Structure 1
Amino acid sequence: MLRKLSVFPLLLPAPALAHPHVFVQVEMAVVFDVQGGVGVRLDWVYDAYFSMLVTADLGIDMDGDLQLTPEEQALLDTQIAAWPADFDGDLEVVQGDTILPLAPKRDHAMVYADGIMRETHLRPLAQVADRSAPLTILPYDPTYYVAYSLAGPVTVEGRGDCTVDIIPANLDAAYSLVDELLYGRPASDVGPDEDFPEVGRSFADSVVVTCAGLL
């Protein structure tokens, strides 16, 4: 998400080195279509500070009325919509030990309202390994540069025989892992040119979708 912004490197003040840098609320729906396809629709609601940094850097909403002109909206769309080849969308869907491949995003939209940016898109599953097995969905940034947190209930669209269970991340274990990998250094001491350990998955809540019938 955020790494795809061409303006992103310009937005962070030098002292802001602690992880995570950006906080994103995630609204999620699991979507079944009539052709038998499965996808995950995500709404990423950016935090107010980062939304302000992006709009300021792009030079949009400079009058502060929290409304974008068509030209400003087009600029925001072009900066957000083009994902680089090495960005996987900060989403993992698994069945058992199998990570399922995801198709390119669809139905991408960008909304700016009340000073907050909201990015919406659908990630279809390219294939399902086992039509009888539950899906486990984890939204996370591997480097924990971005902290994703689930907001509101996870819904299921297109069928009525599925249940959703949310397994919160074990934060004590996640912070212990960070401490172990950094050899006791505080995260705030990790400089901008250093690689932060890929601990994001440990901070991710898991969404488990179980259906009575085949997926």
Structure 2
Amino acid sequence: QLTPDERQRLIGFDTNWDEGFNGDLEIRAGGQLLDLSGPMQAGTDLIEGRIVSTHVRKIEPPVPMQDGPFSIKAFDPSYYTAYEIKLPVTLSDHLQGLCLLERIEPDIAGGLALMKAQLLRLNADADLEENDIPLMGGEFATEILVTCPAS
């Protein structure tokens, strides 16, 4: 268990991001990438032996829910860090029952086949950045699709 002092010292330990870092989160509406705030309302806890950190991000400027559907993906473009959405995803109380929430699992086999095809173009000593290999982390990301009716 964390003491209150330990918890306080840990809050925000992982939210001091480098300039330009998107937090490994993309939200799109109508195919357009939306701008997000930096992390706010950071919290930290110790749950079942794991440090769990949380924070909130806002879409800036705000976008009406009718401008969706909203595609939400958490991923590292380089796939150095792999994310998995395991917890149930829920909507806030004022949207619950009004909007449709859909979880779309990635096509792992298809993503791996695409990555393999890209890598087979290269010899073993090639530098990936110099050979225009695309960042493929998004191919392996679970997508949360939020659709709200027009009011």
TM-score (norm 2): 0.79
Secondary structure, in 3 states, of the residue corresponding to 1:112?
strand
- Residue 100 of structure 2 corresponds to 163
Letter in 1 for 2:148: C
Question: Are 2:31 and 1:94 aligned?
Answer: no
CA drift at 1:213? 3.2
Judging changes above 3 Å, is the alpha-carbon distance between structure 1 residues 117 and 197 closer, same or farther for their aligned structure 2 residues? farther
CA offset digits 1:102-132 (Å, max 9, x no partner): 1222211111233201111111111328833
1:100–1:129: 8 Å Cα contact kept in structure 2?
no
Matches within 5 A, 1:113-192: 113-127=47-61, 128=63, 131-157=66-92, 158-159=94-95, 160-183=97-120
CA drift at 1:136? 0.8
Judging changes above 3 Å, is the alpha-carbon distance between structure 1 residues 130 and 120 closer, same or farther for their aligned structure 2 residues? closer
Question: Are 2:149 and 1:212 aligned?
Answer: yes
Judging changes above 3 Å, is the alpha-carbon distance between structure 1 residues 73 and 184 closer, same or farther for their aligned structure 2 residues? farther
Q: How many angstroms apart in 2 are the aligned matches of 1:209 and 1:116?
A: 29
Whichever structure has more strand as a proportion of its residues is 1
Using the aligned pairs only, state the percent identity. Answer: 31
Matches within 5 A, 1:36-75: 67-75=1-9
Aligned residues: 143
Judging changes above 3 Å, is the alpha-carbon distance between structure 1 residues 135 and 78 closer, same or farther for their aligned structure 2 residues? closer
Q: How many angstroms apart in 2 are the aligned matches of 1:173 and 1:98?
A: 24
1:98–1:129: 8 Å Cα contact kept in structure 2?
no
Q: How many angstroms apart in 1 are the aligned matches of 2:6 and 2:128?
A: 34
Secondary structure, in 3 states, of the residue corresponding to 1:110?
strand
CA drift at 1:172? 1.1
1:136–1:208: 8 Å Cα contact kept in structure 2?
yes
CA drift at 1:75? 4.2
RMSD: 2.8
CA offset digits 1:71-123 (Å, max 9, x no partner): 54344335323222232111111123211111222211111233201111111
Judging changes above 3 Å, is the alpha-carbon distance between structure 1 residues 70 and 101 closer, same or farther for their aligned structure 2 residues? same
Letter in 1 for 2:135: E
- Residue 33 of structure 1 corresponds to none
